[in-house]
C-alpha cells in the first residue's frame, strides 16, 4: 500500500527542514530503515530513513526546498499502484507559497542556475531595470564565456571568497553546484591564511573601468535564510527581550596559564592545547563550586545541575552552534582538548547528533582569536549564563610593585537575573579568576 513520506522531526528544536539531498531517485527501490534523503535541520544535516518498503514513486519537494514538520515530501508504493489520491492530498497539505518576484533567487540546488554572461561590448549601455525601492536587481557577469551556477552555490562562493569562474562545475551542463564549492572550500582551508589565528589577507579593491557608470543604489539579491539562521533569530528574540541580562567583567593575569599551556604542548606536541580548553576546564570547576550559577530558570522552579555541561560556541558557514562537553569538571585538559576538536570539526561538517549540541548548563563564546578585546554575549535559554572571552595579549600592569608587561585577558559574563544575583555572579568570576591565575590548582584539587 502506498504511503506518504512526511518531513520528520530530526532535532528537538526543529520546526521545519530543508531537503539537502535525495539519496534515492524516483523509481528506485527502498527498504524500511534505509537512508532516503539528507535533511538540513536548524543545527545539523541528518539522514532521513524510509519507514516502509517499496519504490520511490514520487518526489514532492526538490533539493534545497523547505517543508514544515509533517508535510508530505515523497510517496513510496508499489510500481504499478495508483497514487493519484495521495498526490491530491499531498497537494492540499502543502502550504501555499507566495509568488516570487523576478529578482528573488531561490536557494535550491535544483532551481534554475544563475547565468553569468559576457560583459557588454564597449558602446552605449542600457540602463538596468530597477525595482520599487530604486535598487537594481542582482546580476552576475563574467569576463568571458558563460557560467552556470546554482543560487546556493553562488551564495557559498561569495561567503567563502571563492572565484567561482575558476571552478569546473559537475552539475548538468557543467553547472556549478553546492558540492563543487564545498570541494573548493576544502582545498582553500589548507591555506595558511585560513588557519585559526592567522592574519586575514586583504583583497585588492575592484577597479572600475574608464566607462563605468553609477546608476543608483547598490544591486542586491534576496536569499532564503538557512534553517540554522532562522532558529538563531527565533532564539535570540526569546532571549535578550524576555531574559533580564546583566553583565560582569573581569581582567585576568594569564601569565601562568600561558606558561602551563606551552609546557603541556611541549610534552604533547600533537595535542595542540588551546587557552580555550583551559578556560572550559576552569569554568567547569568554578561552576561546581558555585552551583547557583550552574542553573536555569524553569518558570516555576530553578533547576540546579549536578555536572557542568559546557557549550562551546563554534562558528560555521550557516551560523553559530554550541557542541557540549559533558561533565567537563571530571575530564582532563587532554580529554577536553581532544573532544573540542572532534566536536568542532563535526559541527562545521553539520554531522553533530542532537544530543551533542543541546542541554548545556553554561556556555563559552571566545572571539579572542579575532583580536576582540572585550564583548558581551547573549544567553542561550534556558541556560543561566554565558561567558564572553576576549583576546589574551601583553599589557603593562602593576606586578609585585613594579610595572611589567604581562599577558592579560578580559572576560564578561552575561547573567540571567532571574537565577543569578550580582553578588553570586561576582563570586563565581572571582573563583574563575583565581584558578586561571593559578592553574596548577587543577592538578592538586
Q: Which residues are catalytic?
A: 417
Contact 310, 282 (CB under 8 A): no
Within 150-267, strands assigned E span 245-253
Distances (CA, A) of 58 to 8, 40, 55, 62, 435: 17, 20, 9, 11, 61
Residue indicated by cell numbers 527498504: 31
Q: Tell me the C-alpha distance between 384 and 266, whole Å.
A: 37
Distances (CA, A) of 281 to 299, 303, 327, 366, 436: 30, 22, 10, 14, 10
Apex CA 345: angle with CA 344 and CA 350, to 5°?
A: 90
Distances (CA, A) of 415 to 48, 179, 410: 38, 41, 16
Q: Tell me the C-alpha distance between 192 and 317, whole Å.
A: 19
Neighbour order of strands in the sheet with 54-59: 3-6, 72-77, 54-59, 29-30
Residue indicated by cell numbers 561552576: 287
Helix (H) or strand (E) holding 153, with range, is: helix 151-160
Contact 240, 414 (CB under 8 A): no
| CA 29 centroid distance within chain | 35
Give the list of residues 6+ apart from residue 443 with CB closer than 8 angstroms, or none.
none
Contact 251, 407 (CB under 8 A): no
Apex CA 264: angle with CA 260 and CA 269, to 5°?
A: 145
Alpha-carbon torsion (29, 31, 32, 34), positive or negative: negative
The upper half-sphere exposure of residue 307, i.e. CA atoms within 13 Å in the direction of its Cβ, equals: 13
Amino acid at each position: 500500500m502506498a504511503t506518504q513520506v512526511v518531513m520528520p522531526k530530526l532535532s528537538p528544536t526543529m520546526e521545519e527542514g530543508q531537503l539537502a539531498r535525495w539519496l534515492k531517485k524516483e523509481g528506485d527501490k527502498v527498504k524500511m530503515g534505509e537512508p532516503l534523503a539528507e535533511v538540513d535541520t536548524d543545527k545539523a544535516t541528518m539522514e532521513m530513513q524510509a519507514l516502509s518498503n517499496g519504490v520511490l514513486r514520487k518526489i514532492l519537494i526538490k533539493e534545497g526546498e523547505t517543508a514544515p514538520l509533517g508535510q508530505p515530501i515523497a510517496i513510496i508504493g508499489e510500481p504499478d499502484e495508483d497514487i493519484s489520491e495521495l498526490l491530491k492530498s499531498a497537494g492540499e497539505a502543502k502550504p501555499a507559497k507566495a509568488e516570487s518576484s523576478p529578482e528573488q533567487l531561490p536557494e535550491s540546488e535544483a532551481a534554475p542556475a544563475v547565468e553569468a554572461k559576457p560583459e557588454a561590448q564597449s558602446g552605449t549601455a542600457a540602463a538596468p531595470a530597477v525595482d520599487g525601492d530604486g535598487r537594481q536587481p542582482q546580476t552576475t557577469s563574467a569576463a568571458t564565456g558563460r557560467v552556470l551556477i546554482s543560487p546556493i552555490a553562488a551564495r557559498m562562493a561569495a561567503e567563502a571568497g571563492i572565484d567561482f569562474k575558476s571552478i569546473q562545475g559537475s552539475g548538468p551542463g557543467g553547472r556549478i553546484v553546492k558540492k563543487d564549492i564545498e570541494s573548493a572550500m576544502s582545498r582553500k582551508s589548507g591555506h595558511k591564511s585560513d588557519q585559526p589565528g592567522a592574519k586575514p589577507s586583504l583583497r585588492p579593491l575592484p577597479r572600475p573601468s574608464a566607462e563605468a557608470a553609477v546608476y543608483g543604489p547598490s544591486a542586491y539579491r534576496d536569499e532564503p535564510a538557512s534553517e540554522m539562521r532562522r532558529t538563531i533569530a527565533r532564539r535570540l528574540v526569546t532571549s535578550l527581550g524576555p531574559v533580564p541580562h546583566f553583565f560582569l567583567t573581569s581582567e585576568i593575569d594569564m601569565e601562568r596559564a600561558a606558561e602551563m599551556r606551552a609546557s603541556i604542548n611541549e610534552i604533547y606536541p600533537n595535542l595542540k592545547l588551546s587557552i580555550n580548553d583551559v578556560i572550559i576546564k576552569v569554568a567547569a570547576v568554578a561552576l561546581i563550586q558555585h552551583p547557583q550559577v550552574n542553573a536555569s530558570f524553569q518558570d516555576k522552579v530553578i533547576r540546579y545541575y549536578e555536572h557542568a555541561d559546557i557549550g562551546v560556541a563554534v562558528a560555521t558557514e550557516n551560523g553559530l552552534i554550541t557542541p557540549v562537553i559533558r561533565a567537563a569538571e571530571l575530564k582532563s585538559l587532554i580529554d577536553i582538548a581532544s573532544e573540542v576538536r572532534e566536536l568542532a570539526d563535526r559541527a562545521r561538517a553539520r554531522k553533530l547528533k542532537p544530543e551533542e549540541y543541546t542541554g548545556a548548563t553554561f556556555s563559552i563564546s571566545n572571539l579572542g582569536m579575532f583580536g576582540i578585546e572585550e564583548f558581551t554575549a547573549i544567553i542561550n535559554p534556558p541556560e543561566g549564563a554565558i561567558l564572553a572571552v576576549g583576546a589574551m595579549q601583553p599589557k603593562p600592569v602593576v606586578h609585585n610593585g613594579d610595572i611589567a608587561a604581562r599577558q592579560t585577558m578580559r572576560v564578561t559574563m552575561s547573567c540571567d537575573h532571574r537565577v543569578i544575583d550580582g553578588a553570586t555572579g561576582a563570586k563565581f568570576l572571582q573563583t574563575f579568576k583565581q584558578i586561571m591565575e593559578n592553574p596548577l590548582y587543577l592538578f592538586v584539587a
